[in-house]
Amino acid sequence: MFKDIFRKTKYVTIKSGQTQNRSSNEVSPQKESGVVNRKELPDGLWAKCPKCGEVLFNKNLEENARVCTTCEHHFRISASLRLSLLVDENSFEEWDAELKTLDSLEFPGYEEKLLEAQEKSGMEEGVLTGRAQIEGIPFVIAINEAGFMMGSMGSVVGEKITRAIERAIDLRLPVVIFSTSGGARMQEGIYSLYQMAKTSAALGRLAQNRLLYISVLTDPTFGGVTASYASLGDIMISEPNALVGFTGPRVIKQTMRQELPTGAQTAEFNQEHGLIDLIVARNQMRPVIARLLRYHQEGAQYDATV
Amino acid sequence: MTQLFEFEKPIAELELKISELQKFSAEKGIDLSQEVMTLEKKTALLKKEIYGNLEPWQKVQIARHSERPNFYDYVPLLFDDFIELKGDRLYADDRSIAGGIALFHGIVVTVIAQVKGKDTKENIKRNFGMPHPEGYRKAIRLMDQAEKFGRPILTFIDTPGAACDLGAEERGQGEAIARCLLAMSDYHVPVISTVIGEGGSGGALALGVANVLLMLENSFYSVIAPESCASILWKDTTKAKEAAAALKFTAQDLLRLGVADELIREPQGGAHNNLHQTAEELSQVISRYLVRLRTESPEALRDKRYEKLRAIGSFQEIYDNSSKRLD
């Protein structure tokens, strides 16, 4: 089998010309010697699918929006890649990129963690916000960056999302948020916790203004993000097999000594329990969101004439 | 027997010595009042020294004290009447959240509270004060009624966190909490939240979206339990003491960070040492804020609550004129 031959080449690491995100060209030696997430994809020529074990040619994987060509497993992707897969070319205008995180609690190791995350993700913080268009329809978008401290929500993430929602109200635009997050960021203590309330309150105002909010859950979404903006969509979408829940499986196992059944907390599990509307594959995301935006655009126009 | 913490042992030793002296003096008919008085003075000083300088971890221990008064202890002392209302109309009645209509200083209010048990049996009934989605949905139902009938809302926070089991996941724990946050942000009635013990993460915040946040002085309110934080940071749950200091979650920290509005005094050593005194303090402070909030218009109540939330956080804004464009 070819597969076996490829497995033996695991010592070969050739840098692929096509890189995963903006920053990976500038990987510092510091990062390489530092702690690297086990689940992180190698920047090499090949990637192994964590679900079916198939060894995939990275170039093919990129062309397939980082979805396994054999089993359709959705690899985690960066916010910038997701943006480019989703919105009309050159339609994105970034907002609030100038917000800078402060270590106001002087939390042990936080500043180093932030620098590491910035280097790893090429982003200033864990969310990208702004306005864009899909098939010419304008909307406000926010995308969590998994590569930035697992998309955790501190003051800046909460503030950027809140501002994006508030600006959507001013501009009378719908909002689409892609979440990927481990939850509230403990390094900012109570400030992080209250970002949950802040973002939820802003979505309350959006709803009062009868503007659409589509929440898209991607792998993984947990904790304080699940318990705030990610769960408040008029329409709840998830990528296939994404793990979504309040408490992570490891914590449930530790604290409750409860073994979760196979498939618990997947998108499919959540849909079965009535918690999400649609499971949409990555390559279908753009047309599905376009349709939803279009149908609500008509409603919004009707509302504006009343 | 009252649960005694390590840091309280020097006090207990002195108190034991005093009682031994008194007993000895009574038995032998020797006057030792001078010695007893000296020791009592010393004890008072030591108490002031110890309880006046509690470390964050010691406050956590007091906030979690097995005899710390829970919501039901305060009910007869705070309210002239209380009618408990149950169930979320969807699934069950969650006994880790109590709610109902109460009479507070002559004002009809809606009360929602998290309740921990006092012993193992009660704790099992109340799931150790960890609410399931049905608890949060009951809270929303009752708070919606408060909005409908124009009643102020008083919430009391005391939970290690929201329930974290399979059932909670199946019934949408995240959604239930998120809905609570959204609902509370939108009410036109006064909302006053008081942390009376443990404020454990999102499960606590779900009842904490308020016009005024009060905290008993030995309570804490945190984004994560100190044990879990220690486990993530140092892979060692025994370092909870260090995590407790790092998280800046004591009532005093939250006052300083602008999240809590006022702290409520507790009797020396903690609320469990004098329930009546604690209830009296709670009653006075909550009443003072309620009187003030009732003069505000419904719109102002809602808008000011939003503005209050809006201001929580810490970041810096760096202005440069180069507009950034991606893709």
Q: Write out pLDDT tens, residues B117-159.
A: 999 999 999 999 999 999 999 999 999 999 999 999 999 999 9
Q: Are residues A183 and A260 in the same domain?
A: yes
Q: A280 by DSSP, 3-state: which?
A: coil
Check whether residue A103 and residue A54 sit in a common domain. Answer: no
Per-domain residue ranges for chain B? 9-23+30-53, 66-310
Same domain, A298 and A186: yes
User: Are the C-beta atoms of B81 and B269 separated by less than 8 Å?
Assistant: no
Q: What's the gap between Cα A114 and its chain centre?
A: 18
Task: Name the residue facing A200 among B178, B259, B312 (closest C-beta).
Answer: B178
- Spatial neighbors of B199 by CB under 8 A, at least 6 apart, are B157, B158, B159, B205, B208, B215, B219, B220, B221, B222, B249
Closest Cα of chain A to B67: distance in Å? 23
Same structural domain for residues A58 and A102? Answer: no
A207: which chain B residues are within 8 Å (Cβ-Cβ)?
182
With CB atoms and an 8 Å threshold, state whether A190 touches B254: yes
Residues 259-278 of A with CB under 8 A from B: 260-261, 264-265, 273-275
CATH code of the domain covering residue A205 = 3.90.226.10
- Rounded distance between C-alpha atoms, residue B183 and residue B300, angstroms: 16
Taking CB atoms within 8 Å and a gap of at least 24, the contacts of B82-89 are B82/B111, B85/B142, B86/B138, B87/B134, B87/B138, B88/B134, B88/B135, B88/B137, B88/B138, B88/B141, B89/B141
Query: What is the ipTM metric for this complex?
Result: 0.93
* The residue type at B58: Q
Cα-to-chain-centroid distance, residue A122: 15
Which residues, other chains included, contact A66 with Cβ-Cβ below 8 Å and sequence gap of 6+?
A: A74, A75, A76, A77, A81, A282
A-facing residues of B in 237-256 (CB < 8 A) are 246-249, 253-254
Q: A215-234 pLDDT, tens per residue? A: 999 999 999 999 999 999 99
Cα–Cα distance, B198 to B161 (Å, whole number): 9
Note whether A44 and A191 are same-domain residues. no
Give yes or no: residues A124 and A42 share one domain. Answer: no
Question: E strands, A162-240, where?
Answer: 175-181, 213-221, 235-238
* pLDDT of B1: 53
Q: Which of A156, A186, A227 sits opposite B177 (nearest CB)?
A: A227
CA separation for the pair A140, A168 (Å, rounded): 6
Helices A189-208 and B298-310 cross at an angle (nearest 10°) of 140
Residue A180 lies in a domain: yes
Of A162, A224, A252, which is closest to B164 when you measure between CB atoms?
A: A252
Express as a percent the part of chain B with pLDDT over 90.
90
A56/A190 same-domain check: no
Instruction: Mention the CATH class of domain B66-310.
Output: alpha beta
- Residue A95 domain boundaries: 79-305
Tokens standing for B290? 């309620």
Do A36 and A165 belong together in one domain?
no
Does the CA dihedral B141-B146-B147-B153 come out positive or negative? negative
Q: Report the pLDDT averaged over residues B43-64.
A: 94
Residue A163 lies in a domain: yes
Q: Does residue A6 sit within a domain?
A: yes
Residue A257's pLDDT band (cuts 50, 70, 90): confident
Cα–Cα distance, B294 to B151 (Å, whole number): 10
Q: Is A210 within the bounds of a domain?
A: yes
Indicate whether A116 belongs to any domain: yes
Place of tokens 């699918």: A49
CB contact under 8 A, A201 and B324: no
Its pTM stands at 0.89
Cross-chain Cβ contact B166/A252 below 8 Å:
yes
List all residues 6 or more positions away from B185 whose beta carbon is below 8 Å from its beta carbon: A197, A200, A201, A204, B209, B302, B305, B306, B309
Q: What is the dihedral of CA B226, B230, B236, B239, to 10 degrees?
A: -60
- State the pLDDT at residue A249: 87
Q: Tokens for B149?
A: 């009938």
Q: What is the mean pLDDT of residues A67-76?
A: 92
Query: To which residue do tokens 């073994």 refer?
Result: A259
* B292 neighbors A45 (Cβ within 8 angstroms): no
Q: Does some domain include residue A217?
A: yes
A233 vs B: CB within 8 A: no
Q: How do residues A87-145 score in pLDDT, each as one tens digit?
A: 999 999 999 999 999 999 999 999 999 999 999 999 999 999 999 999 999 999 999 99
Is the residue at A127 inside a domain? yes
CA dihedral B17, B19, B24, B27 (to 10 degrees): -170
When scoring B127, B171, B181, B254 by the number of chain A Cβ atoms within 10 A, the one with the most, hence best to mutate, is B181
Domain count, chain A: 2
Is residue A176 domain-shared with residue A293, that is, in the same domain? Answer: yes
Token digits of residue A71:
């089993």
Q: Find, among A11, A40, A193, the residue nearest to A116 by Cα.
A: A40
Q: Which two tokens stand for residue A180?
A: 């990927």
| pLDDT tens sequence across B243-261 | 999 999 999 999 999 999 9
Measured between beta carbons, the chain A residues lying within 8 angstroms of B211 are none
> Phi-psi category of B129—alpha, beta or left, where left has phi over 0 and alpha has psi -120 to 50?
left
Secondary structure (3-state) at A49: coil
Whether the per-residue pLDDT at B105 is higher than 80: the answer is yes
